[in-house]
Chain A
Amino acid sequence: MSWPWRRARTRRSDEDFAEEIRAHLELEADQLRAEGVMPEDAHTLAHRAFGNVTHAQEHFHESRRVLWLEELAQDVRYALRQLRRAPALATVIVCTLALGVGANSVIFGVVDRLLLRAPPGVASPTQLRRLYFRGRSFIGPQGNAMYSSTMTSFATITAMQHVPAFAGVAGVQHSTSTLGRGPAAQQVECEAVTGNYFALLGIHPASGRLIEAADDRPPVGAPVVVLSYGFWQRQFSGARDVIGKSLRVDDATLTVIGVAERDFNGIDLENVDLWVPVSTMRSSASPYSSDRDWTSSPSSIWIRAIARIAPEATNASAGASATVLYRRLVRDWRSEGYDDAPDTLSTVIPASIIAARGSEAPQETRISLWLAGVAGIVLIIACANVTNLLLARAFRRRREVAVRLALGVSGWRLVRQLLTETCVLAAIATVVAIIVAIWGGHLVSALLLPESFYGASWMDGRIAAFTAFVAFAAALLAGIAPALQGARIDLAAWLTTGVRDSGRRSRLQLGLLITQAALSVVLLVGAGLFVRSLQRVRGSDVGIDLSRVLLVKMNVDVAGFDSSRVRTIVEQAIERARRVPGVVHVTLARNGVPKFNSTSMSFDVAGRASLPLLPNGGPYVNMVDDEYFATLGTRVTRGRGIVPEDTHRESHVAVINETLARYYWPNQSPLGACLTLASYKGCTEVVGVVQDVLMWGLINDERGQYYLPRRTSTGSAPPVMLVRTSGDARAVGAALRRELQSLASDMPYVDVQSYADLVEPDLRSWRLGATMFGAFGTLALVIAAVGLYGVLTYAVTQRTREIGIRIALGARRAEIVRFVAIRGVGAVTVGVALGVVLALATAKFVAPMLYRTSPRDPLVIIGVAVSLIVVALVASVVPSWRASRVDPNIALRAE
């Protein structure tokens, strides 16, 4: 075995070797002469016996290298020299690759974290399951749709412990709590967990101890709290003496017993600050809560179940036995008189611990998978482009290649060298792509995902490895055809006539160009459709002036204040809020929309035996004050709204929304109709109709809603406050919050949010779609334009002689321009036509993600087609102009 360094030391020079061969030839000639050969023939014969001297020398030369490594080093040096010789081309190739690959890395980062990675920190995540409960919904009297949810009752979790296929079942509930009181009060993300939660997940403490079974003893748990590592660092700078400190969380005083390990931040993507035993959280919860029997009531659904499957059990058997137990449980509940117990035919589905893989997957999951597809298309376009550019370069270097082939360099060696150049490009592209991915990752995570999603750093080894892998795979894919073509020059033809346009190569180029154009059309049409959807979502009338309204939650319900204290604070708050500059209206309501405690409460209509089914359950009720509609900006379309008299005296009136009017009173006026409520058996008269107000989402949120006057005497839970501002609500929000936070020294955290911020997550999917499709589409367009430019420039170079002949024969400049441009523009037009067909064919797949936009929107499709052709024309301008400047004398003499 010989080592590279040893060989390097004993390296023989080529000259030394040449001398040896000379000596050999002399010796042979001497001997031949001695054998009687004529002296003048001796040398010839010696040569003949030796064979090909050059061959031997090259062989020697090759054998001198440390196998592939040294050869590679030389190829890399050679490649770098080649790249420096054509820096513009190299830059375009690197940028094309880097953008294409970077886009994929960004999306991979998202998909990886959403769908591929188990929550960090947990032990044996493959055994962990989220339990989904699937059955018919009983929300509202008419609700009858199948639903699947992770939310269940505590009683179910208790019962599930007896399923032998489960090694254990834990419960977890996320809530936003208030920490501390008065001006320093802040919001924290809190999780109520069962005593076995940490043990089940296999979490270790970073300090102190974690919540154990003994801490969680319903109905009243131990007053303890565990901090997340991040919260410990942020809030206490990682101080060791934090153990034993007291924290005021909502109305409870809890003792810090430990800090969870660094990696663990709950099993969801959301950030977690604190963990508290379920029984502690429930016992300290709102005094207004009617949920006193939370441990046993099947209708109290608020907790999610996490199970660890026993090592010997399969998913199917665990699901089956859990379902059997659950159905028995449900039948028992029903026989005990719980009418609102779940469906008796419910099934329990143990699904992946990764939330995005379950049926409650966020919209982001679907979109990110779409984006993965889109990023793939961008990469294909980039590859096609790189192939085209490399082909053009291979053509430009045909002379050099031919000379090297003539000198006896082997074809394989040439291919290897060309591929090495491609790999060097890929390596540079990887570095640039990582930069692109870091930058793009921040952009996407800001657009798409909760803040805590990425933690401190976005880029990690996995994504970097993915980036490098994709960059090299793409570069090799793009480089293999040009490399093979480049080395396969018909030497005889070249030496005799000079290389002519090879039909196959130009067909390949045109094919690639058409592909690029077609895919660009698809992406840009997608972008256009999302932009239209986003515009329409933004422009849709949701019944609230989103930018002008603030939602204020004072959290006095969790502060442990008695009802008279609550009333005083609410009254003071209204006074203070009215004095804040920029505030126009202040009003109170039982519920704040959207997404908050919407209450479903059915009623009968006098004289009607039955009522039609409403979409999305309901009807939903809210108890509001007289300024409510004015504050939100909700239009009263018929009759009147709530007036001050309604709230002050016992007047029984209701205001309904358009959807309710349309479903319950089609083709007639609902005004004057009598409603019979559960709480009041007399006639509650419908006095007005208002437009629909968004509840859970910006779209497809057609829900029956009605409003009753809010009565201060009957409202048990404290109301939310709604504030209308004269200008942008966000600007007033901070001042308002400061004002209200200082209402009392023991004031819990006052949460002030603008409606614009509240609905922001709902806009996210369209914004993301519009941004990403737009970015990717533009990227594709730029890449395609560069590709077209490259191909045309190449074509002009290649046909200089032909063009020269045409000019010599009297062709006009305009004809030459047309002659050149028609080729590229023609290809792009074909590509555009194909792309339009493709876009129309795939339209039905995008349709569910659009909003009031046809996936075949003619404006979008025509706009994209036209702009692509315009881009093609622009990209053809320079090469065509250059062609028209060809000097026939020079062109004809050139070869």
Chain B
Amino acid sequence: MSTRTPDDDRLALLQGTLDLLILRTLLGGAHHGQGIARAIQHGSRDALLIEHGSLYPALQRLEDRGWIRAEWGTSDNNRRARFYELTKDGAKQFARERQQWQRLVEVVRLVLGPEHA
């Protein structure tokens, strides 16, 4: 058996993307983890299948970097939940990352060339 085999490339890409998606979600206001997961899934029209569990390391990382902050609060249906919201730095970071992402997409498209029929 073994334990998970770390596949650094995949993880790194996924992490970066996930960060961007989380920041985008929080741009609309504070959310708890489950809410963020649902929002991303919904936003992607369920095309993205995210393990909810993988969200938390990303949240933690963003919190550590000071891009989001968290506070315990109460959800709409009266459950205790940890709510995340974007910080000022986080908003700036989102702008940066989105720009980078778009450039990446542009560049990749450029390299792949026009689609052949």
Expressed in whole angstroms, the Cα–Cα distance for A55 and B2 within the complex equals 13
In the complex, chain A residues whose CB is within 8 Å of the CB of B51: 49-52
**Contact A28 B52, beta carbon cutoff 8 Å:** yes
In the complex, chain B residues whose CB is within 8 Å of the CB of A639: none
Q: A7-B64, A405-B3 are in contact. Are A30 and B79 (CB under 8 A)?
A: yes
Task: List the A residue with the shortest CB-CB distance to B75.
Answer: A27
**Contact A55 B53, beta carbon cutoff 8 Å:** yes
> Interface stretch among A246-254, A408-416, A649-657, A711-719?
A408-416
Expressed in whole angstroms, the Cα–Cα distance for A7 and B64 within the complex equals 7
In the complex, chain B residues whose CB is within 8 Å of the CB of A56: 53-54, 56-57
Contact with A along B59-89 (1 / 0, CB 8 A): 0110011100000000101011110000000
B111: interface (CB < 8 Å): no
A24: interface (CB < 8 Å): yes
A837: interface (CB < 8 Å): no
Expressed in whole angstroms, the Cα–Cα distance for A30 and B33 within the complex equals 14
B34: interface (CB < 8 Å): yes
Expressed in whole angstroms, the Cα–Cα distance for A51 and B54 within the complex equals 8
Q: A23-B79, A30-B77, A31-B38 are in contact. Are A49 and B52 (CB under 8 A)?
A: yes
In the complex, chain B residues whose CB is within 8 Å of the CB of A53: 53
Contact with A along B1-30 (1 / 0, CB 8 A): 111101000000000000000000000000
Expressed in whole angstroms, the Cα–Cα distance for A384 and B61 within the complex equals 43
B43 CB to nearest chain A CB (Å): 16
**Contact A405 B2, beta carbon cutoff 8 Å:** yes
In the complex, chain A residues whose CB is within 8 Å of the CB of B2: 405, 411, 491
**Contact B6 A59, beta carbon cutoff 8 Å:** no
B92 CB to nearest chain A CB (Å): 14
**Contact B81 A27, beta carbon cutoff 8 Å:** yes
In the complex, chain A residues whose CB is within 8 Å of the CB of B57: 56, 59-60, 63
Expressed in whole angstroms, the Cα–Cα distance for A728 and B56 within the complex equals 87
Count residues of chain A with CB under 8 A from any CB of chain B.
33
A815: interface (CB < 8 Å): no
**Contact B34 A28, beta carbon cutoff 8 Å:** yes
A497: interface (CB < 8 Å): no
In the complex, chain A residues whose CB is within 8 Å of the CB of B53: 21, 50-53, 55-56
A443 CB to nearest chain B CB (Å): 51
A22 CB to nearest chain B CB (Å): 9
B7 CB to nearest chain A CB (Å): 12
Chain A CB within 10 A, most for which of B1, B2, B32, B56: B56
**Contact B33 A20, beta carbon cutoff 8 Å:** yes
**Contact B82 A410, beta carbon cutoff 8 Å:** no
Task: List the B residue with the shortest CB-CB distance to A62.
Answer: B57
In the complex, chain B residues whose CB is within 8 Å of the CB of A52: 51, 53
In the complex, chain A residues whose CB is within 8 Å of the CB of B79: 23, 26-27, 30
Expressed in whole angstroms, the Cα–Cα distance for A23 and B37 within the complex equals 13
A288: interface (CB < 8 Å): no
Q: A24-B34, A30-B79, A49-B52 are in contact. Are A60 and B60 (CB under 8 A)?
A: yes
**Contact B56 A23, beta carbon cutoff 8 Å:** no
Task: List the B residue with the shortest CB-CB distance to A21.
Answer: B56
Expressed in whole angstroms, the Cα–Cα distance for A405 and B5 within the complex equals 12
In the complex, chain A residues whose CB is within 8 Å of the CB of B34: 23-24, 27-28, 31
Q: A24-B33, A27-B34, A60-B56 are in contact. Are A409 and B3 (CB under 8 A)?
A: yes
| A contact patch SS | helix
Expressed in whole angstroms, the Cα–Cα distance for A256 and B81 within the complex equals 88
In the complex, chain A residues whose CB is within 8 Å of the CB of B60: 60, 63
**Contact A55 B4, beta carbon cutoff 8 Å:** yes
User: Which of under 10, 10 to 19, 20 to 34, or 35 or more describes the interface residues of B?
Assistant: 20 to 34
Q: A2-B64, A50-B51, A405-B2 are in contact. Are A20 and B35 (CB under 8 A)?
A: no
Expressed in whole angstroms, the Cα–Cα distance for A263 and B36 within the complex equals 71
Expressed in whole angstroms, the Cα–Cα distance for A605 and B34 within the complex equals 117
Quick one: which of B34-55 are within 8 Å of A by CB? Answer: 34-35, 37-38, 51-54
**Contact B64 A491, beta carbon cutoff 8 Å:** no
Expressed in whole angstroms, the Cα–Cα distance for A611 and B77 within the complex equals 122
B53 CB to nearest chain A CB (Å): 4
**Contact B61 A63, beta carbon cutoff 8 Å:** yes
Chain B CB within 10 A, most for which of A27, A31, A63, A408: A27
**Contact B56 A59, beta carbon cutoff 8 Å:** yes
In the complex, chain B residues whose CB is within 8 Å of the CB of A409: 3
A473: interface (CB < 8 Å): no
In the complex, chain B residues whose CB is within 8 Å of the CB of A20: 33, 56, 81-82
In the complex, chain B residues whose CB is within 8 Å of the CB of A26: 79
In the complex, chain B residues whose CB is within 8 Å of the CB of A603: none
Expressed in whole angstroms, the Cα–Cα distance for A858 and B60 within the complex equals 73
Partner of B3, one of A1, A17, A27, A410: A410
Expressed in whole angstroms, the Cα–Cα distance for A49 and B50 within the complex equals 8
B37 CB to nearest chain A CB (Å): 8
Expressed in whole angstroms, the Cα–Cα distance for A580 and B81 within the complex equals 104
B12 CB to nearest chain A CB (Å): 14
Task: List the A residue with the shortest CB-CB distance to B35.
Answer: A27
In the complex, chain A residues whose CB is within 8 Å of the CB of B32: 23-24, 27
A782: interface (CB < 8 Å): no
In the complex, chain B residues whose CB is within 8 Å of the CB of A50: 51-53
Contact with B along A1-41 (1 / 0, CB 8 A): 11000010000000001011101101110110000000000
**Contact B3 A408, beta carbon cutoff 8 Å:** yes
In the complex, chain A residues whose CB is within 8 Å of the CB of B35: 27
A15 CB to nearest chain B CB (Å): 13
A772 CB to nearest chain B CB (Å): 49
Expressed in whole angstroms, the Cα–Cα distance for A55 and B75 within the complex equals 26
Expressed in whole angstroms, the Cα–Cα distance for A24 and B32 within the complex equals 8
B67 CB to nearest chain A CB (Å): 10
Expressed in whole angstroms, the Cα–Cα distance for A356 and B46 within the complex equals 78
A116: interface (CB < 8 Å): no
Expressed in whole angstroms, the Cα–Cα distance for A23 and B59 within the complex equals 15
A415 CB to nearest chain B CB (Å): 13
**Contact A492 B1, beta carbon cutoff 8 Å:** yes
Expressed in whole angstroms, the Cα–Cα distance for A236 and B81 within the complex equals 83
**Contact A23 B81, beta carbon cutoff 8 Å:** yes
Q: A31-B34, A63-B61 are in contact. Are A2 and B56 (CB under 8 A)?
A: no
A247 CB to nearest chain B CB (Å): 73
Expressed in whole angstroms, the Cα–Cα distance for A49 and B38 within the complex equals 10
Expressed in whole angstroms, the Cα–Cα distance for A50 and B33 within the complex equals 11
In the complex, chain B residues whose CB is within 8 Å of the CB of A31: 34, 38
B112 CB to nearest chain A CB (Å): 32
Expressed in whole angstroms, the Cα–Cα distance for A547 and B54 within the complex equals 86
Expressed in whole angstroms, the Cα–Cα distance for A212 and B81 within the complex equals 87
In the complex, chain A residues whose CB is within 8 Å of the CB of B81: 20, 23-24, 27
In the complex, chain B residues whose CB is within 8 Å of the CB of A24: 32-34, 37, 52, 81
Expressed in whole angstroms, the Cα–Cα distance for A26 and B56 within the complex equals 16
Quick one: which of A491-544 are within 8 Å of B by CB? Answer: 491-492
B102 CB to nearest chain A CB (Å): 25
Expressed in whole angstroms, the Cα–Cα distance for A468 and B34 within the complex equals 52
Quick one: which of A206-237 are within 8 Å of B by CB? Answer: none
**Contact A410 B4, beta carbon cutoff 8 Å:** yes
Expressed in whole angstroms, the Cα–Cα distance for A405 and B4 within the complex equals 11
Q: Which 6 A-B pairs have the closest CB atoms?
A: A51-B51, A51-B53, A56-B53, A27-B34, A50-B52, A59-B57
User: Can you sample 13 A-B contacts with CB below 8 Å?
Assistant: A2-B64, A2-B66, A7-B64, A21-B53, A21-B56, A28-B34, A28-B37, A50-B52, A51-B51, A59-B56, A60-B56, A63-B61, A406-B1
Give chain B's interface residues, CB within 8 Å of chain A. 1-4, 6, 32-35, 37-38, 51-54, 56-57, 60-61, 64-66, 75, 77, 79-82
**Given A20-B81, A24-B33; 11 other pairs, CB 8 A cutoff:** A2-B64, A21-B53, A24-B32, A27-B34, A27-B75, A28-B34, A28-B37, A53-B53, A55-B4, A56-B56, A405-B3
